[in-house]
Amino acid sequence: MRSIIILTTLISLCLVFPIFDNFPQLSLLPQSLYCKNRLIKLAPNEYRLVSEDEKLNLKRRNQNFIDMTGQIPIDVAVEQGLVTKPVLSVWQKVFLIGSKQITSLKKTIPIYNYPKSTKYNNEINKLFALIDVDFMLKKLTKFTSFYSRYYRSESGSESANWLHGQVLKLVGEFKQIQVKKIHHDGWDQFSIIVSIPGEVKDKVVVGAHQDSANLILPSIMKAPGADDDGSGSITILESLRLILEAYANGSFKPYNTLEFHWYSAEEGGLLGSIDVFSRYSNASEVVVGMLQQDMTGYVQGTIDAGVEPHFGLISDYTSVELNNFLKLIIKAYNSIPYHESKCGYACSDHASALENGYPSSFLIESEMKYSNKYIHSVMDTIDRLDWDHIKEHVKLTVAYAYELSSAKDLH
């Protein structure tokens, strides 16, 4: 009798507790018996079935992952030996993968002929003179004023609408430039894509994630997210503004289509970006390079360690060839160097591009060991950021976008 009471209580919690409201039905077991498991990918060959609470606990332990629930049906994952079939228990378990892979997920990353020298130095350096710190400070101040940008919160949806409005203001009357809301199943915060058409449809992508999260209680507690990833979101917003200045005066017209992405739900396991790049893959879209800007403004860690200000160029689970192109860009356009660093699997949205066969790179504010330790808390605030450092990320983003979107003969 006691076990029946416990079972009934837990089933009731699964049915009524809000954290489970918006996730897809699973067909393997009765919904009430396993509380809507999520399929996550923690490494190239490691999958688990976890609950939403276990996802949050992994984030608290700095364990990165991609939430693949919308990409791989759980019954297929079980059939392929990626995870063990869930047992008939209300107690959530972590299930390790077998040795098999879904063959459709084995994607070869193309190698492109990235430029071996920079070509547009005069044009790009003129744009650097237009970088507006006051503009960025004003926008980031507003962006961090939302109580939280958590992707499942009302304020997270409101912040996306505000950001979308800012993008529309920048694009203005350029009717040929598309601004799209990408809606996702299961939550209201949408992703945003700006597409500047080129002579060819091959895409050059700049990305950042717009959401924030307080990992203590993400649905309840404040999360200003100034650095993670307000800084990256505003970095690419300013970069877009500068690119549009050049587009307006006729000095820039891309050969490859240039896109700026603001992803929803990165903190939920790259949910927004994996949806975006899976859609691109399913539509056979070509992405010749994706650059992620996630955390661009914190330097106190390097100062405290007596280390020079630098970019953290992530070397694991990124494209070697695209990284080499970024090294070329940094040498030509930036006043600070790069230090190579590692962040593990799926540490930001570049992993979603790579997962779908697209070359991607990730540049963070410093080596990971010096990066911002205040993220995912109420203490991730603007006063901890260095605007000279953010300017360097803007320079790099503009130069990458301009040079690579103008490059021909990449194939």
How would you list the strands of the sheet with 66-67, edge to edge? 46-50, 38-43, 66-67
User: CA angle, corner 263, sides to 109 and 364, nearest 5?
Assistant: 70
Is the separation of the CB atoms in 209 and 230 below 8 Å? Answer: no
Mean per-residue pLDDT, 31-47: 73
What is the reported pLDDT for 87?
56
Mean per-residue pLDDT, 357-379: 98
Dist. CA 411–CA 408, nearest whole Å:
8
What is the reported pLDDT for 184?
98
Going along 186-298, which residue ranges are E strands? 191-196, 200-209, 256-263, 287-293
**How do residues 104-117 score in pLDDT, each as one tens digit?**
344 788 999 999 99
Sorted by sequence, the CB contacts under 8 Å of residue 45 that are 6+ apart come out as 97, 101
Instruction: Count other Cβ atoms within 10 Å, centred on residue 7.
Output: 14
What is the reported pLDDT for 81?
84
Mean per-residue pLDDT, 27-36: 38
Question: What number of CA atoms fall less than 13 Å from residue 107's CA on the CB side?
Answer: 19
Identify the CA nearest to 345 among candidates 48, 127, 73, 85. 48
pTM for the structure as a whole: 0.88
CA distances from 334 to 76, 255, 293, 384, 392 (A): 47, 24, 16, 22, 6
Q: Which fold has domain 121-406?
A: Aminopeptidase (3.40.630)
204: which strand partners?
258, 289
Banded pLDDT at 379 (limits 50, 70, 90): very high
Banded pLDDT at 221 (limits 50, 70, 90): very high
What is the reported pLDDT for 72?
85
**How do residues 139-172 score in pLDDT, each as one tens digit?**
999 999 999 999 999 999 999 999 999 999 999 9
Please report, for the chain, the start and end positions of each structural domain, with discontinuous segments joined by +.
2-104, 121-406
**How do residues 251-276 score in pLDDT, each as one tens digit?**
999 999 999 999 999 999 999 999 99
What is the reported pLDDT for 86?
65
**How do residues 270-324 score in pLDDT, each as one tens digit?**
999 999 999 999 999 999 999 999 999 999 999 999 999 999 999 999 999 999 9
